[in-house]
Amino acid sequence: MTSAAAPFGRALCAMITPFSPTGDSLDLPGAQKLADHLVSSGCEGLVLNGTTGESPTTTDAEKSALVRAVREAVGPGVPVLTGVGSANTAHTVELARAAELAGADGLLVVSPYYSRPPQAAIEAHFRRVADAVGIPVMLYDIPGRTGVRIEPDTMLRLAEHPRITAVKDCANDLLGSAKVISRTGLAYYSGSEETNLPLRAVGGAGFVSTVANAAPRALRAALDAYDRGDVAAATRHHQRTLPLVELMMAAGLPGTVTTKALLGALGLPAGPVREPLQPAATEVADGLLTAYGELVRQS
């Protein structure tokens, strides 16, 4: 399931955080049910408490509780990573240590946001976190949300740290990513579904996907075909996912909102989103369900 090139597996889901019907508490049994469903549907690893997991609106205690519950549900053989990023280095270190104690196999650490630190400060931040724990770190490069990029040259330096092993890549810079992949042992995971196949083709490890909450088999099929050497089939599988990817990720609503709408329509645990996010309208959910059904039919 894992290898040196893909230390957490290839097909990872950026899992939502199911909430109670009122949204004021976690639905831990629902999270366990969803985690088990995702693994049985082809996900090789799970990433909790990230952007899709609504980490800005969950408490530190809720983050740890979710890790413990999912760890119990999927057992020790499935990699479980968790987001510990914040705008505060000291708080990020606290979250990282708590995640390790809760049973996480790895950490997803986003660039410090809002304050827009320079590259030297970003590098120091990641090193502080990696120095504080004994489990691997996946850097999360998503400048569209954080306001800052982890520049390729910074990645090259950070790759020297023994616990910084992977990158969730949402920078949309294939040249920069290919440069780092070619010169380091960092495992690059696509964080944008439209780049899943292109990144794999230049040496990427796989994906960390929001859309995998709903369609893990379809997304994984493209990687499986590519790894078999059937590039034409990989391209077909990849292209079939694009209508659903566009509706879920590029139609004006956050991916968390569209994912929870679709999972609810499919009868899977989800619950509401927490404010400031707002639920999707009924017609949005209907459109997502139609696109999902078409993808299933073609697969």
Spell out the domain ranges in the chain. Answer: 11-221
pLDDT band of 299, cuts 50, 70, 90: confident
For 108-155, write each residue's pLDDT tens digit: 999 999 999 999 999 999 999 999 999 999 999 999 999 999 999 999
Report the CATH architecture of 11-221: Alpha-Beta Barrel (3.20)
CA distance 81 to 12: 10
How far lies 211's CA from each of 18, 83, 105, 283, in Å?
Answer: 16, 18, 22, 19
Catalytic residue, candidates 63, 140, 189, 292? 140
- For residue 5, the model assigns a pLDDT of 84
**168 classed as catalytic:** yes
Res. 95: pLDDT tops 60: yes
Q: Averaged over 161-187, what is the pLDDT? A: 97
Res. 4: pLDDT tops 70: no
Catalytic residue, candidates 113, 114, 168, 188? 168
How many percent of the chain have pLDDT more than 90? 98
Q: Averaged over 95-113, what is the pLDDT? A: 97
